[in-house]
Structure 1
C-alpha cells in the first residue's frame, strides 16, 4: 500500500511525521486530487458556470476560514478527521477555481509573461510570515489572497505567454511535461538529502551545493524517465482502451 496513492494509518508511519504516505510524502496532495477528479468525473463536470461559480465561492470561504483560524493552510497529510478536512479544503478551491478559470476566460497574448509570472512567484515566496503568535489572522489573510487571487493570475499570465522561438516553446513544453512527475518523484530524493545533512552537522554551503545540484539533476532525470517509460505509455494505452 505504501507505494500507492492509498493513505495508510498512523500505525504505519515510519518517521514520526504522521504522514499518510510515509514512503513519499507528496502522495497526500495527489490523494486529494484523486478525490477532486472523481467528483469532477461523476458530478461536477455537469455544473453550469453559475453552479461552478457558487461551488468555487463556497470553497474560497472555507479556505479563508481555515487560513485565518490556523494562520496558514498547512496540513492535510495525516489520516484523521481534522487533517482530512484540511486536505479537502486546500484542494477544493485550487482545483475547481482552475476549472472555472478555463471556462470563463480565454488566454490573450501577453509579452514577457514568463518574466511577470516569475516576479509574482518570487514576491509571494520571499515574503516572510506576517504577524506573530497573537496575530495568526494576518498571515491567514495573506495566504488567502495569494491562493485565491495571485495564483490564478499567474496561471492566466502563463497561459497567455507568447513563445518567440521554437527553442522557447520546446523548453516550456519540456518543463510542463515533467512538472507533474517531478513533483511526484522528487521527495524520496529529498529524504536522502535531508538525512545526509542531518548526519553531517556543521557542513558548509560550499560543501553542500554539489550534492544539492546532484539531487536536482537526479530528480529531473528520474521525472523524465517516469514520463517517457510509464506516464505517456500508460496514457496512450488507456486512450486506446477507452476509445
Structure 2
C-alpha cells in the first residue's frame, strides 16, 4: 500500500510530504469502498483497484528519497531489510490472523471456496511468510486477499536495496518501459476491459509488471531536482478531487480500459509528482498526517473485517447502506486501535532490539565497502 505503508521516518515531522500522506489515505479509503461495494452490489468506487498502482509509484518515490543516499554510503542490505520487515510485518500478521479466523469460519460453514486439511495448512504457512498460495483458489492470499500487493511491495523493496538503488537512470527507464508493455498486453491476452491484477496464481506476472512499472517510476520522480513544496489549499483539493474522480468513474468496455491504462501509466505518476511539488496548508497538517499514518492499517486490515461485517449484515437482512456504514465504522475503529496500541509499540520494541543488535556488530560489518 507501500506506499502501502507510511514513509520511513528519517527526519523530523516537517520533512514529511503531507499532501502525499493525504492522497495515500484517500486512496486506502477508496479501496475499502470498492470492496464493501462489491459485496453489497453497490458501485461505490469501481476503479478503486487502481489505488494499488498509485501506492506502488508513491512507494518508489518515498523509498528512493529516504534510502538512495544511505544505501550508497553506510547502510547495508541486511539493515534495510530489517527495517522494512519491522515496518510491514506486525500489521501484516494481524491482517493474516483476522483472515485465518475468516477462513476457519468458512471451513466450518462449508462455504464456497472453503479450505480444508492440507490446503488450509499450506495456505496459512505460505501467507504468513508473505508468499503466494499457488494452488487453485480465487486469491493467492486466501487469508487476506489484498496482501498480494504487499507481497510484491516487499519483493520490489528487496530488489531496490540489492540492485535498483545503484542502477543508472536509463536502466530504470528500460525496466519501466518493459513492465508497461506487459501491463498493456494483459487485457488483450485475457480479453477484459479492466487492468489485470496479480491476485490469482495465473496472473502473478501482471501483478509483478504493475509493481515493476510503478516503483521505478517513483524512483525516477525522486531523482528529479528537489524543490521546496509550496503550501496550497487549491492544489491540495484539486489533486484529491482528481484522484477520487479517477477511482470513482463507473466505466465499462473500452472506456474502462482506457481509464485504467491512462491512470496507471501516467495519471498516478503525475499525481505523485504534483503532490511532491505542493503541500497542504498548515491547518490541514494534522488531518493529512493522520490519514497517511492510518492508510496502511486501513489497507491491510479491512478485507477480513469487511467480509465478516457484511456476512452478518446480509444474514440479518440489513440494508446495503447500513452494511456499508457499519463496515467503514468497524474498519476505521479497528485500524485506529491497531495503529495506536499495537503497531506503534511493537515497532518501537522491535526497533530498539534491532538497533542494539546492530550496534553490537563490528564497524566493518555495518559499512558498505567503497
TM-score, reference length from structure 2? 0.55
Query: 2:314, 2:264 → 1: CA distance?
Result: 33
Q: Kindly tell me: are residues 52 and 60 of structure 1, through their superposed partners in 2, closer, same or farther at Cα, counting changes over 3 Å? A: same
Which residue does 2:160 correspond to in 1?
40
Superposed CA RMSD:
2.6
Aligned with 1:230 (options 346, 349, 355): 346
CA distance in 2, matches of 1:120, 1:208: 24
Matched, 1:117 2:234: no
Deviation at 1:207, TM superposition (A): 7.0
Instruction: Tell me the alpha carbon deviations over residues 37-74 of structure 1, each in whole angstroms, 9 at most, x when there is no partner.
Output: 12112121111112111211222222222245432224
What is the 5 A alignment of 1:1-243?
A: 1=125, 2-10=127-135, 18-69=138-189, 70-78=192-200, 80=201, 82-107=202-227, 108-109=229-230, 111-112=232-233, 113-131=235-253, 135=254, 138-165=255-282, 167-201=283-317, 203=319, 205-206=321-322, 209-210=325-326, 212-242=328-358
Cα shift at 1:84: 1.5
Are the structure 2 counterparts of residues 233 and 176 from structure 1 closer, same or farther at C-alpha, using a change threshold of 3 Å?
farther
The SS at the match of 2:279 is: coil
Q: Distance in 2 between matches of 1:146 and 1:118?
A: 14
Greater shift after overlay, 56-65 or 194-203? 194-203
**Secondary structure of the residue that 2:207 maps to in structure 1?**
helix
Unaligned regions of 5+ residues in structure 2, if any?
A: 1-124, 360-370
Relative distance call for 1:209 and 1:84 in structure 2 (3 A) is closer
Shift of 1:160: 2.6
Partners of 1:118 and 1:109 in 2: CA distance = 16
Match of 1:14 in 2: none
* 1:204 Cα offset (Å): 5.3
Given the superposition, is the C-alpha separation of residues 54 and 208 from structure 1 closer, same or farther in structure 2, using an over 3 Å criterion? Answer: closer
Q: Distance in 2 between matches of 1:105 and 1:236?
A: 34
Give the Cα separation in 2 of the matches to 1:208 and 1:50.
Answer: 46
State the shift of 1:120 in Å: 0.5
Distance of 1:238 and 1:77 partners within structure 2: 33
Residues 182 and 206, structure 2, Cα contact 8 Å, conserved in 1 = no
1:84–1:211: structure 2 CA closer, same or farther, 3 Å change rule? closer
Task: Verify the 8 A CA contact 1:33 1:91 in the aligned structure 2.
Answer: yes
CA distance in structure 2 between the partners assigned to 1:182 and 1:235 by the alignment: 23
Alpha-carbon distance, 1:208 to partner: 5.6
